Structure 1
């Protein structure tokens, strides 16, 4: 009898070990595969069982969560959805997440181990943590000024703090309400189909994901390269460039829209946007130096994040001198996002240094405990401080005496550069109107804001479309909002100091 008991006990032990091995296999070895299995509803149900954390603008939530009472209980809601959609993106139970909703999804959904009191042991915590909050760098007044300035026209606006790299405004137009995509079912599918087939492509983030020929705004990059290389030592000296200018190795003549460009100085060429002078300077600087300077400003960087992904801006690294001449004036294959051109303006305003742009100021737990803060980082030194100083003077001249007069602000120093970019087959498309610039309040130690504006469908006759006429007024409104916000902040700081 004892022998049979021993055999039964041994069999039970083997079965127990088998059960333990199988539990380890299911819980550890195959856990990720089972979690990712579309048939496993537990992960999805758990994801939407609690409210999602909020995205904040100046401390105010621009998102929320609504209790639907359905199995996927909480749906995302948006305050001023179209205004902030280029920042927040959408969080859809059907179509996933985009932009900040995607980049900070682990914080917002409560799955990030950083939300645990003991992050290294977060995996041992059986409960699900409440979603944390994400504070953005966006300033509400600047965002609204940019949004209302575009007024539904196709285009984009980006405003940066040149000193820190904070993204102060990020607008893409036309926009959409991400709340219509939050849930499930027929209405959500219909909204998705409608938005994806709309001629204005409202779900395209033109500020971060669309690249355009930057036109004459790129001349600031070429001028920086020429000054740093010593190709130009006196910005007021005649350049010796004929009008028109024959592209090297070809019979093609490059004309100017502006008058007085024959033998014009660099200062005059920037003021009135002479193609010939800057095209020739690009050739004289040479391909390797032009590529190096463009890269320092941010071109050809496929890894740029803010934290949302940014489409890489392009400056060709292998081309003939005639194509280099066209690329140096923002044509041929040169393409840039509005964020990239805002970085160009910010580099000039910031003394030649490009601060890494960022959109998330900090993340916190649901209770407000600080989880992390985005530090200021240097992206690159795009030019020497002396070159930046000379370019600031030239850009101020553009606004005070040249093509950018519509960007001027009483009582402030404003620098800018206009651009009109040809595109399409045979350059027959409606030109893109560009303006980049920066503004400094009187008596302030440094510029408060740098901005880039592009308008795809400027409301004017084709021959009258210009960055100065279509884009500069929008930039001025955004810069005025930035200066006013700084003025109010200074007053508030003064009152607190006296209290």
Structure 2
């Protein structure tokens, strides 16, 4: 055999050996991962022939599988979503192509493949019963969720609202507008699914985006409670003052005027007490506070509330909120009023309100209350835990006192967030976008003396004030929880 033939033979043997190794690797070591992968269309198609578990809110199924009525249907079960637009950003959808939201994050439970369902599946095999996936019960309060969604839509603006139980971290409501109907995405016709998804993905107003968890906004004046927290933690009191001129000459150049209906200096020319600056939402005094405290203390306080903590799961992925670093004096002043490069998700701002309501401890948010197999065996249950110790209890008390004045003080900026017969702690926000428009915010908790709910609302390009546009959305959400 001549040299070229030997070389060719050797090369072919190497290729054949590599093929055998790859086949064994895929079929042996990677088989289960590939089989269970959410983008494996064969796996997805197979599961349309099985009874997928339900997603439950308030003892009602909002996502469930029903047997198809047509004998000629491609698959045995059809996935349905009730009140889909209201819940779509939470449930997500289960399609021939992929799974999103809770459908994706809890897929192994819902489809019955999780190892914790092995005994149940084995018993079903012995008895001849059809195996079913586990049900996933969410923490959402149905009245609060409906109220949040309807109130947001009534404004005619894009935006989001989040409500938390400040004592546990349970997500009581999470609404994002605009939304979408998940039902067409669970259709058995691949062409219809693809067409619907492409339309949603290419839509200018981004209906697939979960604004509550994954859109970051400048928080504007709602961030002033973080600045105030940093001041109190540094040994100041609600009566401590800062200059509050009509226009602040920024340390590194430029000026900052007062906004929010404030004409002239915030306190008639005198230094403004911290409590009064929060009540009327004074820009110039809060900018002075940020500069006096310095970048390190401001950043540390923001991080204590959850900023710059990276993404985290609840189990849906929540985008990171951030406080900038390497600031000059003018930039630092702007961060004191929630501008420059400060960015926050609505969930993060609800966590700030919730942390103050909970005596300074921010609880880790969570969406899943429990998971049960078809025979009602409990497989998972919520275990509330502290996310961060943001401030001392005395600082939380001071912040609560100041935030109550935002809704009921003589010069209150958030009166439309007040609830008759109880004290509401709140903070308004009007955030400059850099594009000639403003986002409008309101964060709050109630009752102030025994908090049951903490809320954050943001409306995009509202071009109003947080007190005028966002507070009226937060108020009925709080009422929906408290009146249960």
Q: Normalising by structure 1, report the TM-score.
A: 0.84
Is the CA contact (8 Å cut-off) linking 2:362 and 2:387 kept in structure 1?
Answer: yes
- Aligned: 1:273 with 2:273: no
For the structure 1 residues 219 and 60, does the alpha-carbon distance in structure 2 shift closer, same or farther, using more than 3 Å as the test?
Answer: same
8 Å CA contact retained: 1:116, 1:129:
no
Per the TM alignment, residue 110 of structure 1 is displaced from its structure 2 partner at its CA by: 0.9
Q: State the shift of 1:284 in Å.
A: 1.3
CA contact (8 A) 2:108 2:114 kept: yes
Please state how far the C-alpha of 1:414 moved relative to its aligned partner.
Answer: 0.3
Indicate which of 185, 200, 213 corresponds to 2:205.
200
- Cα deviation for residue 320 of structure 1 reads 1.7
Q: By how many angstroms is 1:88 displaced?
A: 0.8
* Match for residue 433 of structure 1 among 431, 437, 440: 440
> What does 1:469-480 correspond to in 2, within 5 Å?
469-480=468-479
Q: Secondary structure at the match of 1:97?
A: coil
Q: Is the 8 A contact 2:244 2:282 kept in 1?
A: no
Counterpart position of 1:308? 316
Give distance in 2, aligned partners of 1:419 and 1:113.
Answer: 47
Please tell me whether the aligned partners of residues 75 and 93 of structure 1 are also in contact (alpha carbons under 8 angstroms). no
Secondary structure of 1:410's partner? coil
What residue in structure 2 maps to residue 85 of structure 1?
88
The residue that corresponds to 2:229 in the other structure is 224
| Contact 1:45-1:71 within 8 A present in 2 as well | no
Q: How far 1:386 sits from its partner (Å)? A: 0.4
Which one of the candidate residues 157, 163, 187 is aligned to 1:159?
Answer: 163
1:334-355 CA distance string (max 9 Å, x none): 0100000000111111111100
Please give the residue correspondences for 1:395-414 in structure 2 after superposition, counting only pairs within 5 Å.
395-401=403-409, 402-414=412-424
Return the alpha-carbon distance in structure 2 between the equivalents of residues 188 and 39 of structure 1. Answer: 15
| Aligned with 1:149 (options 151, 154, 161) | 151
Q: What is the aligned length?
A: 445
Structure 1 residues 287 and 71 mapped into 2: Cα distance closer, same or farther (>3 Å)? same
* Contact map agreement 1:110 1:128 (CA 8 A) in 2: no
Is there any run of 5+ residues in structure 2 with no aligned partner, and where?
1-20, 122-128
TM-superposed CA distance for 1:249, in Å, is 2.5
- CA-CA distance at 1:315 after TM superposition: 0.5
Is the contact made by 2:243 and 2:288 (CA closer than 8 Å) also made in structure 1?
no
Give how far 1:432 is off. Answer: 0.5
Q: Which of 93, 114, 117 is the equivalent residue of 1:115?
A: 117
Cα RMSD, aligned residues only: 2.7
SS of match in other structure, 2:211: coil
The one-character-per-residue Cα deviations of 1:48-99 (angstroms, maximum 9, x if unpaired) are 22121111101211011133454443232100000111211111112x1112
Between the aligned partners of 1:400 and 1:471, the Cα distance in structure 2 is 16
Partner of 2:354: 346
1:229 Cα shift? 1.0
When residues 29 and 455 of structure 1 are mapped into structure 2, their CA distance, relative to the original with a 3 A threshold, is closer
Q: 378-387 or 30-39, which moves further after superposition? A: 30-39
Distance 1:34 1:244, change over 3 A: closer
d(CA) in 2 for partners of 1:302, 1:286: 23
Match of 2:191 in 1: 186
CA contact (8 A) 2:152 2:473 kept: yes
Distance (whole Å) between structure 2 residues aligned to residue 90 and residue 29 of structure 1: 30
Residues 106-136 of structure 1: CA deviation (Å, up to 9, x unaligned)? 11111111223399xxxxxxx9942101110
Q: Aligned runs of 1:259-408 on 2, under 5 Å?
A: 259=263, 260-261=265-266, 262=269, 263-401=271-409, 402-408=412-418
Once the two structures are superposed, residues 251-277 of structure 1 have per-residue CA deviations (whole angstroms, 9 ceiling, x without a partner) of: x11110124414211111101111111
**Structure 1 415/370 Cα, relative in aligned 2: closer, same or farther at 3 Å?**
same
1:484 Cα offset (Å)? 0.5
> CA 1:39 to 1:63, structure 2 compared with 1: closer, same or farther past 3 Å?
closer
1:207 is paired with a residue of what secondary structure? helix
Deviation at 1:214, TM superposition (A): 0.4
Deviation track 1:134-171 (CA, whole Å, cap 9, x = no partner) reads 11000011011111111253000000000000000000
1:450 correspondence with 2:454? yes
List alignment gaps of at least 5 residues for structure 1.
1-20, 120-126, 486-499
Q: How has the CA–CA distance of structure 1 residues 39 and 419 changed in structure 2, closer, same or farther, with 3 Å as cutoff?
A: closer
